[in-house]
Amino acid sequence: MKSHKMIEIKLPKRLIKQVDEHVLQTELTTEQQIEHWIKLGMMAEEHPELTLSFVKDLVQVTK
């Protein structure tokens, strides 16, 4: 089982507001949505040759 160590980070209020507005359309929490977007961004940067839809599929598989 993975151990998730939690830390606090500061994010601009406008970014949190955008995330909060987005999660109203999903079943994710604010924290889960931020984690999802971080994973997407990391995978996209590590593999620029892949399409965004393929990266999204990869992130879903690795959950």
- Tens-digit pLDDT string for the chain (63 aa): 566 788 899 999 999 999 999 999 999 999 999 999 999 999 999 999 999 999 988 888 776
Instruction: Give the number of other Cβ atoms within 10 Å of residue 19's Cβ.
Output: 18
Both tokens assigned to 16: 């949190």
Phi, psi of 14 (to 5 degrees): -65, -35
pTM exceeding the 0.85 threshold for the entire prediction: no
Q: What is the pLDDT of residue 54?
A: 92
Q: What is the pLDDT of residue 48?
A: 93
